[in-house]
């Protein structure tokens, strides 16, 4: 049986491959999921003509709430600002497609994903 971290990493790789197949230049954070103390590393950075997507990816096998610490959101926004890009939370529930939720510095928006 795979650990939740391993499953999450597999889904991050699948999303990175999907974005690559769409023609974007894609990097998956080498320290995705932890290990970097001095600076934040997002799960995925995807670059296209005139845009940069900075992505925190979340996968759940069952529908429910997804919680992301405020500090992580702030670091995601800071990375996006430095990259001159846009921050997104990519959410995937088992059997569904990825959904991209934009994150802005105007505050935290709580979104409930419904079918």
Instruction: Give catalytic residue positions.
Output: 32
For 8, which DSSP code?
Answer: H
Q: Tokens representing 30?
A: 């080498």
Between vectors from CA 80 to CA 74 and to CA 84, what angle results, nearest 5°? 145
Q: Specify which residues 55 forms β-bridges with.
A: 44, 88
For 49, which DSSP code?
Answer: T
């Amino acid at each position: 049986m795979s650990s939740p971290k391993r499953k999450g990493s597999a889904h991050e790789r699948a999303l990175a491959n999907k974005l690559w197949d769409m023609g974007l230049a894609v990097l998956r954070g080498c320290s995705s999921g932890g290990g970097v103390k001095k600076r934040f590393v997002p799960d995925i950075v995807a670059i296209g003509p005139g845009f940069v997507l900075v992505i925190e990816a979340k996968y759940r096998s069952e529908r429910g709430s997804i919680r992301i610490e405020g500090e992580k959101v702030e670091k995601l926004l800071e990375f996006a600002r430095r990259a001159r890009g846009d921050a997104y939370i990519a959410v995937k529930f088992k059997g569904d497609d990825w959904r991209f939720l934009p994150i802005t510095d105007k505050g935290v928006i709580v979104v409930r994903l419904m079918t």
